Amino acid sequence: MINPGEFYRSLRSHGIDFFCGVPDSLLKEVLLEINATCEAGSHFICPNEGNAVALAAGHFLASGNLALCYLQNSGLGNAVNPLMSLCHSRVYSIPLLLLIGWRGEPDVTDEPQHLAQGAITPDLLRLLDIPFEILNASSNFDSLIAETAKIAKSRSAPAAILSTKNTFSPSEVTKRAKSDDNALTLSREDVMRILIESLSGEAAIFCTTGFASRELFQLRQESGKTGKVADFLNVGAMGHVSHIALGYALSQPTKRVICIDGDGSAIMHMGALAAIGSARPSRFTHILLNNGAHDSVGGQPTCGFKIDFPAIARACGYENVHSCSDGASARTSICALLESPGHSFLEVRVKTGHRANLVRPPHEFQLLKEEFCNFS
Ligand SMILES: Cc1ncc(C[n+]2csc(CCOP(=O)(O)OP(=O)(O)O)c2C)c(N)n1
């Protein structure tokens, strides 16, 4: 396996002086190194992968230097526009190095939401005119980095390193000290348990990407209700859960619709809040579980604790806006919002972390969709 610290130092030695991206679990050991080692101002965790490509382009315009832009292959879709209409050699011809976590690689076990994207990732890169090298645990990473950086510079265009599963050994960097969320006591799961206990009538729940959907599924399993509830687990399509919920709510105005969002996911496509506020769906409850982190892929920080989500929701036009961080207030707010006829927003500040042995929903997502449609 590749030592992530050595990999990071090799990137630096080949002229990479700026790092940005959206975290991915396959890359989390390298991201720990980058986060712990980069000087202030030379590492930015971006809202989405398109922003990261644009940021890397801006860095090149200012310095003439290559930036490393890291992402999961599911984020390639977000990045295609700036890759093709900004950095491509037929436009501004801007070099950058992409480090892509290859989820859903053929013949490697992975979750269904990664399989279609994983199968086409190499072809997609070819189609996008992005030369790439595949990195695995036995690669000579130093010469691979040297080669891809040279290609990016000589073509003055993006080049990529496609990183397979289990490539990096554990980082020696201790995880980020979570000084900012020490005071938080509620977990994501606690809030979802309160929500389930508070529901009286029918409701359709749309739950965000990552641990949250697995936790909701597990809570339902423990209550013996799997398959008999209208839970839509948005296991892929990060950042889009609130618009799936909105699309549903606009066609089912009498139904209570609950969207469980994450801070990283909400920030990824934050324009969604503006659209929901102006669409004014009825009986729409948007619950944001803000842990200030991308907990599901390694706990890398988001700006979730630095921004005022309730003020943003209010400014976007949400009618009832609450924020809390303890169980009693969460229960009171959730009960109040579940009675509200309009569109409401609740931020609950939660700690990171999940229970041991968290289950995964079964892989039959089309069946889950049918169950959702039958029970909602
Ligand atoms: C487009 C895209 N980029 C990146 C990912 C990888 N990813 C999966 S979950 C996740 C973190 C979600 O963070 P947040 O919404 O704050 O929820 P938390 O994990 O903290 O509960 C990331 C980055 C993805 N699935 N899709």
CATH code at position 334? 3.40.50.970
Residue 227 has pLDDT above 80, yes or no: no
Report yes or no: 229 and 220 within 8 Å, Cβ to Cβ: yes
Closest Cα to atom 23, ligand 1: which residue? 23
Q: Is residue 96 part of a domain?
A: yes
| Closest Cα to atom 17 of ligand 1 | 262
HEC states along 76-97?
A: HHHHHHHHHHHHCCCCCCCCEE
Of all protein residues, the one whose alpha carbon is nearest to atom 16 of ligand 1 is 264
Q: Ligand 1, residues 74, 163, 213, 294: which to mutate, most atoms within 8 A of Cβ?
A: 294
SS3 168: strand
Residue 163 has pLDDT above 80, yes or no: yes
- Supply the pLDDT for residue 90: 97
Q: How far apart are CA 27 and CA 52, in angstroms?
A: 16
The C-alpha atoms of residue 188 and residue 167 are separated, in whole angstroms, by 30
Beta bridge partners of 345: 286, 321
Q: How far apart are CA 26 and CA 70, in angstroms?
A: 11
Separation between Cα atoms, residue 157 and residue 165, nearest integer Å: 26
Please give the mean pLDDT across all residues of the chain.
Answer: 95
- Tell me, in angstroms, the distance from the centre of ligand 1 to residue 135's CA: 23
Q: How far is CA 14 from the centre of its chain?
A: 29
The residue among 102, 134, 163 that closes a domain is: 163
Which of residues 128, 163, 198 is at a domain's end?
163
Sheet (strand 256-262) strand order: 231-233, 203-207, 256-262, 284-290, 343-349, 320-324
Strands 203-207 vs 231-233: parallel, antiparallel or unpaired: parallel
Q: 224 and 185 in one domain?
A: yes
Task: State the closest ligand 1 atom to the C-alpha of 208, by its place in the atom list counted from 1.
Answer: 15
Q: CB of 257 within 8 A of CB of 284?
A: yes
Residue 146 lies in a domain: yes
| 199 and 344 share one domain | yes
Rounded to an integer, the average pLDDT of 246-252 is: 97
- Name which residue sits closest to atom 21 of ligand 1, judged by CA: 295
More confidently predicted of 266 and 40: 266
Confidence at residue 179, expressed as pLDDT on a 0 to 100 scale = 46
156 and 210 together in one domain: no
Of all protein residues, the one whose alpha carbon is nearest to atom 12 of ligand 1 is 294
Instruction: Please tell me the total number of residues recorded for the chain in this structure.
Output: 376
What is the whole-number distance in angstroms between the Cα of residue 80 and the centre of ligand 1?
19
Is residue 363's pLDDT more than 90?
no
* Residue span of the structural domain in which 43 resides: 4-163
Q: Are residues 151 and 219 in the same domain?
A: no
The answer to whether residue 277 sits within a structural domain is: yes
Task: Say whether both 82 and 24 belong to one domain.
Answer: yes
Q: What mean pLDDT do residues 337-343 have?
A: 94
Ligand 1 pocket at CB < 6 A: 22-24, 72, 74-75, 78, 188, 208-212, 238, 262-265, 291, 293-297, 302
The reply to whether 169 falls in a domain is no
Helical segments of 48-206, H only: 49-63, 76-82, 112-127, 141-155, 188-198
Ordered strands of the 96-101 beta sheet:
43-45, 18-21, 67-72, 96-101, 158-163, 132-135
Give Cβ neighbours of residue 117 (< 8 Å, ≥ 6 apart): 73, 74, 76, 103, 104
Give the Å distance between the CA of 359 and the centre of ligand 1.
17
Q: Which atom of ligand 1 is nearest to the CA of 263?
A: 16
Residue type at 366?
Q
Kindly give the number of the ligand 1 atom that is closest to the alpha carbon of 77.
Answer: 1
Instruction: Determine contact, residues 227/371, Cβ cutoff 8 Å.
Output: yes
Q: Compute the distance from residue 235 Cα to the ligand 1 centre, in Å.
A: 10
Are 185 and 159 in a shared domain?
A: no
For a substitution probing ligand 1, which of 74, 289, 296, 351 has the most ligand atoms within 8 Å of its CB?
A: 296
CB under 8 Å to 108, separation ≥6 — which residues? 118, 164, 165
204 and 297 fall within a common domain: yes
Average pLDDT of span 40-69: 97
* DSSP-derived secondary structure letter, 123: H
Over residues 169-178, the mean pLDDT reads 73
Is residue 197 located within the same domain as residue 316? yes
Residues 89 and 200 in one domain: no
Q: Which atom in ligand 1 lies closest to the alpha carbon of residue 25?
A: 6
Give the total number of structural domains in the chain: 2
Same-domain check for residues 345 and 216: yes
Structural contact between residues 282 and 343, judged by C-beta atoms closer than 8 angstroms = yes
- C-alpha distance from residue 38 to each of 34, 108, 226 (Å): 6, 32, 45
Confidence tier at 175 by pLDDT (50, 70, 90): low
The Cα 192–Cα 137 span in angstroms is 39
Give the closest residue (by CA) to ligand 1 atom 24: 238
Distance CA 78, CA 240 (A): 12
Residue 176 lies in a domain: no
